[in-house]
A = this chain, B = another copy of it.
């Protein structure tokens, strides 16, 4: 693994995959077809892309029961415990509607309302990611969203992975369709005979799914378009090189474009981690992916001291940050930008991927400067509430009218004044 001085730095930004214009044309055509021909087009695209002919898109109760029989009981209980942890953490994020009152009769406030409906996309392909189901669905459920729809592309037998169905059931999804790709996004955004449209679509997907989400954005809300994953570890000589190497590799195995960075004031640690990474890499099942990631996007930065290391981390604004130093908790106040912060030797990043409770959908590619983990707020919206009394309007009406006229908006001024005139107050 390459070791740099921090001055040679430093960005974890990788170009975001934006797709080709041919891919975008394909996506636009799929969306148009779904909008005009609904289920019929959905069935055709499913035959074409997923190579299966479905009589019904809906996952049945029976399919879910079968899924429970296919996975082992210990796995079910782990999913249940993880779901409970995620639920508990996200419930702490709930906020009440609130108001303030004044003696002149004014009441101002914010009314918090869940979204009516949300669609969660779950990718298909070789690996099943039940954790992704939990992390996307549970915050929406906790937020109070009444209708949560899951979509995922079927295999060539017309089935979804058992682990995904179990996770969906445990998370509280009651409506699942076996559709995927841009056609699933279009169906969620605009509706078909079978699938009623939703207000927001979340969840990861391939480039066609990402392009489709961008296209429908505005008509419905979407979550972020996630880039490849990254980790930064801030460590000093108190950390063990073999443990840091294992954490760097756990990020690297995700994707050849994943980014794993160690920032440390200790050159000795830097060297030891570099050796350990090579050693552990050789025995990993996904070593080809991890090796490319480490080679292309891995780096160890050696800084003058801890303060420079902290500043380096803030510049990176990493998705995941581990702090494994003496008195690590004391550095928390200096960290301005990171999606999730893991503190201390036992807080290995995978703890947060599955189980601890905080969300694993996190801002990537430096966007932790301005973005947050997926959370309950993403599934609620606020409405301002304004109640003015006769007294409040009488006290303030002239000022409001004057401000409006300053901006050249006479009808605004008159809307206020007509009430005062009608009451003989002007």
Contacts and interface: CB of A to CB of B under 8 A. Distances in A.
Contacts of A115: 369-370
Contact of A383 (B107, B240, B340, B387): B340
B407 A130 contact: yes
Interface in A155-171: 163
Given A390-B346, A406-B130, A384 B358 contact: yes
A79 B403 CA distance: 8
Interface stretch (A42-50, A57-65, A304-312, A371-379): A371-379
9 contacts: A79-B403, A88-B100, A92-B98, A95-B95, A106-B356, A253-B409, A341-B383, A343-B386, A358-B384
Contacts of A377: 377
Contact of A346 (B243, B354, B369, B389): B389
Given A341-B111, A358-B386, A369 B199 contact: yes
Give the number of copies in the complex: 2
A89 interface: yes
Interface string A343-370: 1111111111111111100110001111
A411 interface: yes
A93 B110 contact: yes
A290 interface: yes
Interface stretch (A23-31, A295-303, A331-339): A331-339
A422 B240 contact: yes
B81 A387 contact: no
A381 interface: yes
Contacts of A346: 388-390, 392-393, 419
Given A110-B93, A422-B240, A78 B387 contact: no
A347 B388 contact: yes
Given A354-B404, A368-B381, A386-B356, A284 B399 contact: no
B108 A388 contact: no
A337 B117 CA distance: 12
A1 interface: no
Given A253-B411, A414-B280, A108 B358 contact: yes
A413 B371 CA distance: 28
A385 interface: yes
A416 interface: yes
A359 B384 contact: yes
Given A383-B335, A383-B338, A218 B367 contact: yes
Contacts of A253: 409-412
Contact of A412 (B116, B240, B350, B413): B350
